[in-house]
Amino acid sequence: MNAKRLITYIYYGIVVLLLLIFMYRTYTIPSDNEVLQKGPASFGLWQSYIYIGVAVLAALVLSLLGIIQKPKALIWTIAGIVVLAVLFFIGKSMASDVVPQAMIDDGVTLKDFQFSHAGVWVAGIMIGLTIVLAVASSVKTMFDK
């Protein structure tokens, strides 16, 4: 086993460990704790905001480094953004023009309802695409050996 592969496995192990700690801290907060009920958010929630911020920052920095090292990668980045925008507008166009009364009572407007509907469609399509690509990659690696 070479050093690069070992470092990759160590990196993935650290990421999985941090995710497990995050999930444990987020989902094991007792609901009857008086201190947590008085505050605007629990520690787990703030911890998740920090993790999300670090992940977004890392994704942006690594994407910029990749584009600087390989300028042709910018074409794929722009194509991905265009595809996401098209999926978003398709999802928004599929949204109903009628907002349920329960949501109106909670202050949801038609624009909010359509945006959330579009987000759900994009997320569903991306999750489905991720599953298909993961299976295809696994099958491809089985036949590459």
Pair 85, 119 in one domain: yes
Please tell me the predicted confidence (pLDDT) of residue 135: 92
Q: Which of 69, 91, 111 is the last residue of a domain?
A: 69
Domain that holds residue 121: 71-145
97 close to 117: Cβ distance less than 8 angstroms: no
Please tell me the predicted confidence (pLDDT) of residue 119: 86
Please tell me the predicted confidence (pLDDT) of residue 64: 83
Please tell me the predicted confidence (pLDDT) of residue 55: 85
Please tell me the predicted confidence (pLDDT) of residue 1: 61
Concatenate the DSSP letters of all residues of 82-120 into one string.
HHHHHHHHHHHHHS-S---HHHHHTT--HHHHHHHHHHH
Pair 76, 65 in one domain: no
pTM, to two decimals:
0.50
* Dist CA 46 CA 5 (whole Å): 34
Ranges of residues in the chain with a pLDDT under 50 are none
Pair 1, 65 in one domain: yes
